[in-house]
């Protein structure tokens, strides 16, 4: 299994909930909370009940631009540069919301689709590899980043597409 395949498998395993941490080998923007604060400070917000609110689409577009600026337009799986068709992938296990990501990374359309729709490995193969990835005694051990993931920072305003910090 080459390094691109291994990255794809790890991202797929996280998406499916088989791997519950972000391995250090995956390039990702980790300080999403700081990016969110910068977005809220640089935009005209809507005041609601004492909160500065933004539309979900404004937040997502702001994050996308910042992540691509930081990581570039090269897919972390296939290692190909894409002027167009680059996605910002929100790394998260099933149990987390979009407001509480493990991190954000860049993927081309093809690799992003494989993570979302499936790879050519059975669930048992993916689980077996995850067991090795999480075992410090294994030759493919990939430890987690040394950080604590905060609780969600974004709060949805009821019956709207607005969020506040």
* Residue-wise pLDDT tens digits, 91-135: 887 666 555 557 899 999 999 999 988 888 899 999 999 999 999
> Please, which pLDDT band fits residue 162 given cuts at 50, 70 and 90?
very high
Taking all residues of the chain, what is their mean pLDDT, rounded to a whole number?
Answer: 89
Residue found under tokens 């991190």: 103
CB half-sphere exposure, 56, CA atoms < 13 A: 10
Q: Would you give the distance in Å from CA 90 to the centre of its chain?
A: 3
116 membership: H or E segment, kind and range: helix 109-117
Contact (Cβ atoms closer than 8 angstroms) between residue 77 and residue 26: no
The per-residue pLDDT for 152 is 62
The string of pLDDT tens digits covering residues 27-52 is: 998 888 888 899 999 999 999 989 99
**Contacts made by residues 86-92, CB under 8 angstroms, sequence distance 24+:** 87/112, 88/63, 88/64, 89/11, 89/115, 91/11, 91/14, 91/22, 91/26, 91/28, 92/14, 92/15
Q: What is the spatial distance between Cα 124 and Cα 69, in angstroms, rounded to a whole number?
A: 37
Q: Would you give the distance in Å from CA 82 to the centre of its chain?
A: 19
């Amino acid at each position: 299994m080459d390094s691109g395949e291994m990255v794809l498998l790890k991202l797929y395993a996280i998406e499916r909930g088989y791997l519950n941490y972000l391995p250090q080998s995956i390039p990702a923007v980790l300080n999403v909370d700081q990016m969110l604060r910068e977005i809220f400070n640089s935009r005209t917000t809507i005041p609601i009940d004492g909160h500065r609110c933004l539309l979900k689409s404004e937040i997502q577009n702001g994050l996308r631009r910042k992540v691509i600026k930081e990581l570039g337009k090269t897919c972390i799986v296939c290692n190909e540069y894409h002027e167009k068709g680059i996605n910002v992938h929100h790394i998260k296990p099933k149990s987390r919301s979009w407001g509480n990501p493990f991190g954000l990374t860049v993927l081309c359309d093809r690799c992003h689709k494989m993570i979302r729709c499936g790879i050519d490995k059975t669930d048992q193969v993916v689980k077996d590899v995850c067991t090795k990835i999480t075992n410090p005694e294994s030759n493919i051990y990939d430890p987690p980043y040394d950080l604590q993931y905060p609780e969600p920072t974004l709060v949805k305003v009821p019956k709207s597409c607005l969020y506040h910090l």
